[in-house]
Amino acid sequence: AQSVTQPDIHITVSEGASLELRCNYSYGATPYLFWYVQSPGQGLQLLLKYFSGDTLVQGIKGFEAEFKRSQSSFNLRKPSVHWSDAAEYFCAVAQAGGTSYGKLTFGQGTILTVHP
């Protein structure tokens, strides 16, 4: 069964500092990979996605992520964090080429706190 691990439950950074959130997945083939963000009391918003091709993908709000097949990782990065980035971040995986478009397996999430 596919699974997603986000090793860091909670990360604290200072505003303006760089950020890297880790994500490792376990899957038999190359999956589709996603990062979502959830602000308190809100639903999830897609930050970026990887299907194939260039392993470095750009997303919204200045985020990027790099797919590393050899490490089964899809880490999220941002060069300079803003206070408004404080939220919970979820990595997710879906079956590539599957017929189920709405079934994602999510990691447990990483809560990001930003200090002024």
Partner 1 sequence: KAGVTQTPRYLIKTRGQQVTLSCSPISGHRSVSWYQQTPGQGLQFLFEYFSETQRNKGNFPGRFSGRQFSNSRSEMNVSTLELGDSALYLCASSLKGGSGELFFGEGSRLTVL
Contact residues: partner 1, CB under 8 A: 32, 34, 36, 41-46, 49, 51, 90, 94, 99-109
Give whichever of 48 and 81 is closer to partner 1, judged by the CB atom: 48
Output 79 or 98, the one with its CB closest to partner 1: 98
Burial 6-38 (b: 16+ CB within 10 A, else e): beeeebebeeeeebebbbbbebeeebbbbbbbe
Least Å distance, CB 68 to partner 1, is 20
Tell me how far, at minimum, the Cβ of 109 lies from partner 1, in Å. Answer: 6
Output the CA–CA distances (angstroms, integers) from residue 71 to 67, 83, 99, in the order listed.
9, 31, 27
CB of 32 to partner 1, least distance (A): 5
**Shorter beta-carbon distance to partner 1: residue 16 or 97:** 97
Which lies closer to partner 1 via its Cβ, residue 15 or residue 105? Answer: 105
User: Smallest gap, in angstroms, from Cβ of residue 14 to partner 1?
Assistant: 27
Q: How far is CA 110 from the centre of its chain?
A: 9
Q: How many angstroms separate the CA atoms of 29 and 46, rounded?
A: 22
Neighbours of 101 (CB within 10 A): 8
